[in-house]
Amino acid sequence: MKALVLLSVISVLMLTACSRVGAGRTCDWQPGDNAFPLDLRGRNQRLHLMGEALRAEDLAVRYADAHRGRRSGQYAGSEAYQRAREQCMATLFDALASHHGVTVAQVRDAMLYRRASVDVLILILFVAFYVVAADAIAQWIADSALADAWVVRWVATAVAACGAAAISLVLFGLWAATFEMIRIGNTHMSYRVGRSPWLEHRGELLIGGVVLFVLLAAYRYSGGRIEDRTST
């Protein structure tokens, strides 16, 4: 049941990410609001420009996909694709900059803005799933014959911790990528996948997964059940 619920949630999220697949036939900027100058000293206005910049960038990617992509029927190599994308992006960024009274450089910088609260929520939700899975594995080790000898028990725990952390790191990459697709509004991430903040912290995430697993295992082993069983 839990797997079904998780699959349903992911399916809904992916459908949301695909909701604008039809965009990008033309390289025209359609403002989502009335023209007004932005004061980028304010967080809300920086986030507003971020949303507009991401939308313009995505429109350029979709435009290149539609006119020079591999499935467009007009594919002429990666250089032609990138040239179409960059030319369209330059046109859109120039229009967006004029619309909000900012520079093109500020529009490009805005694509790097992020909502820290959303990134933290993504991490917390995954950690919750990881804790449930790691606790179940630790419980299995505690209930198995591996627990009869403390050396074997902790060797098994170390191996399980490293394996669980490594697998979870891959799954977390997919998890974070799914939410990034939703934020961007496109399943074709292209070069944008390299902007994920988690790519710079894979080592810390891996170590954190191992440490968390060991702590959960130690908590399980300290419950007294192993000692009670071996004494009977």
Mean pLDDT of 69-96: 93
Mean pLDDT of 92-111: 95
Is residue 4 packed enough to be buried (19+ CB in 10 Å), middle (13-18) or exposed (0-12)?
A: exposed
Tell me the average pLDDT of the chain: 85
The rounded percent of the chain whose pLDDT value lies above 70 is 84
- For the chain, what's the residue count? 232
- What's the pLDDT tens digit per position in 42-54? 999 999 999 999 9
pLDDT band at 183 (very low <50, low <70, confident <90, very high): confident
Tracing tokens 């909000």 back to the chain, one arrives at 100
- What's the pLDDT tens digit per position in 194-219? 888 888 899 999 999 999 999 999 99
pLDDT at 193: 85
List the chain domain ranges: 19-110, 116-230
Cβ proximity of 113 and 40 under 8 Å: no
b/e burial code for range 133-156 (CB count within 10 A of at least 16 → b): ebbebbeebbeeebbeeeeebbeb
Q: Is residue 180 over pLDDT 90?
A: no
* Residue 230 token pair: 């071996």
User: pLDDT higher for 230 or 198?
Assistant: 198
Mean pLDDT of 54-79: 92
Beta-carbon neighbour count of residue 187 at 10 Å? 13
The amino acid at residue 42 is G
pLDDT band at 9 (very low <50, low <70, confident <90, very high): low
Mean pLDDT of 216-223: 85
What lies within 8 Å, CB to CB, of 62 at 6+ separation is 20, 23, 24, 186, 188
Q: Is residue 14 over pLDDT 80?
A: no
pLDDT at 221: 85
Q: Is residue 223 over pLDDT 70?
A: no
User: pLDDT higher for 12 or 125?
Assistant: 125
C-alpha span between 60 and 80 (Å, rounded) = 14
Q: Is residue 16 over pLDDT 70?
A: no
